[in-house]
Amino acid sequence: MTVAADRQVKDPCAWLSAVTLELAGAHPADTRGVLMAVWDGLVAARLAGLHAAGASPRWRARQGHAEAAEFDLAVQLARTCTAGPGLAMPAGLPGAAVAWPAARADAAVAAIISFCATAETMLRRAGELTPVWEDSLLGPVSLTRRLADSWAGRHTGRPLRLPAPPPSWWR
């Protein structure tokens, strides 16, 4: 079952911080656990980023670049997490979303970049513990770096082109 997180989360930044701490404390030998925690963090980061994008043109532009990295990372994680990701990736904000002040948007972007650094580190550690590095870990390592670079303004990627129909986890 896939759950839409955007309707349940009151504070995406607090959730993202909690997931980042959980991920940092995960045992890298539990590859699936690391990947599932990265999925949860990606959902939280996506939601926080959508809110931040509504606060200023700078974050809106960067969110547009980050969106393709988010989607590509979600595709790779969804393939790897064979039991299903559980949380749906929010395609957009609910219609009743309230605009965030600039300071909260800035904090959200800082939390996203911090999550990406933690995810990249944990995915690398998990990869080091596998007998042979797998694509299930190599791709997410580079995509978490690209996501952080997109939010930091160091990567101006391509716009997202969703497949038709979009995956069931992209809502």
pLDDT at 167: 82
pLDDT per residue over 46-61, tens digit each?
Answer: 999 999 999 999 999 9
Question: What pLDDT band is residue 69 in, cutting at 50, 70 and 90?
Answer: very high
pLDDT of residue 2: 36
Identify the residue whose tokens are 């800082």: 110
pLDDT tens-place string over residues 116-138: 999 999 999 998 888 776 666 78
Tokens representing 19 are: 């997931």
pLDDT at res. 88? 75
Percent of the chain with pLDDT over 90: 55
Identity of the amino acid at 27: H
| Three-class secondary structure assignment of the chain | CCEEHHHCCCCHHHHHHHHHHHHHHCCCCCHHHHHHHHHHHHHHHHHHHHHHHCCCHHHHHHHHHHHHHHHHHHHHHHHHCCCCCCEEECCCCCCCCCCCCHHHHHHHHHHHHHHHHHHHHHHHHHHHCCCCCCHHHHHHHHHHHHHHHHHHCCCCCCCCCCCCCCCCCEC
| Residue 125 structure tokens | 């550690």
Has residue 1 got a pLDDT over 80?
A: no
Predicted TM-score of the model (pTM) = 0.88
pLDDT, the chain, mean? 85
Taking phi over 0 as left and psi of -120 to 50 as alpha, with beta for the rest, 86 belongs to left
Has residue 10 got a pLDDT over 90? Answer: no
pLDDT digits (tens, 9 = 90+) for 138-156: 889 999 999 999 999 997 7
Task: Work out the number of other CB atoms within 10 angstroms of the CB of residue 108.
Answer: 26
